[in-house]
A and B are shown apart, each in its own frame.
Chain A
Amino acid sequence: MMLTCKETTRLVSQGLDRELAFGERVALRVHLAICIGCRRTRRQMMFLRRAMRELVEIDLKAS
């Protein structure tokens, strides 16, 4: 199964919310290996998760 970038970004997002099936993980890895745009999207979605954990702290640090 060859994923498009659009399908890949959906799967990357779902991978943050549920356990992906074996076939999905393989297809994802194959696509990410050849596509820098989707690798960036994946890194950026993971960064978003880290940023959300820090968000609640920030006003208190600043004040």
Chain B
Amino acid sequence: MPPATDIRAQIEALRPYLLRFASLQLRDAAAAEDAVQEALLAALAGEASFAGRANLRTWLTGILKHKIVDAIRRQAREPLLPQESEDAPDDFDALFERNGHWSERPARWGNPDGALEQAQFFRALEACLERLPARTAQAFMLREHLGLETSEICKELEITPTHCWVMLYRARMTLRDCLQQTWFGK
């Protein structure tokens, strides 16, 4: 087993990654900093339990996810985020005809995975994420960034599964449209 100082140095080196991971979900630098700090303290206190695990980053990220969910739970108690109406008028009416079929069919994106090689694409994606309403973005990030199951998201955000699916649908449709406008349609 490597000396404890080595592990500490390696953990410290991973701090920028962990901060970015937390910031993407929490959208708040101070809250992200706190979550990372709590995760690192928990990790250092439980150093022994890392022994034998293959990947330090995966282990730390797992601890951090719990701290992020704790932070969201605390946020949920303070009504900082305005409630978005569950039965808001359907925002995608412009996309579909009255009979429910496309009024303008979505364009082809060719080989979109090529975009994953370009840092500029991720700037566009982040800009699109920032445009989502706060609670919609939170639900979407819990699903696609933290990888939580819908049932866990419902519990944390205190919403019904149906409301959760509606929010995730809105997020995906909005992001799809935003990327079409700001990246793939250019």
Contacts and interface: CB of A to CB of B under 8 A. Distances in A.
Interface string B147-186: 0001000000000010011001100110110010000000
Contact of A58 (B96, B109, B122, B168): B122
Contacts of A36: 105
Given A48-B176, A52-B144, A62-B119, A6 B125 contact: no
Contacts of B109: 40, 43-44, 47
Nearest to B104: A37
Nearest to A47: B112
B28 interface: no
Contact of A40 (B106, B161, B165, B175): B106
A55 B145 contact: yes
B116 A45 contact: no
Interface residues of A, number: 34
B119 A58 contact: yes
Interface of A is mostly: helix
A49 B144 contact: yes
A13 B145 CA distance: 16
Contacts, number: 95
Contacts of A55: 24, 122, 125-126, 145
A48 B96 contact: no
Interface string A19-63: 000000000000000001110110111011111111110111110
A24 to B, nearest CB: 12
Nearest 6 CB-CB pairings of A with B: A4-B100, A37-B105, A52-B144, A13-B169, A58-B122, A6-B100
Given A52-B144, A54-B122, A58-B122, 11 more contacts: A5-B100, A13-B172, A17-B164, A37-B102, A43-B109, A44-B109, A48-B176, A48-B179, A55-B122, A56-B20, A56-B24
10 contacts: A4-B100, A6-B95, A6-B96, A6-B101, A18-B161, A18-B165, A43-B112, A44-B106, A50-B116, A62-B119
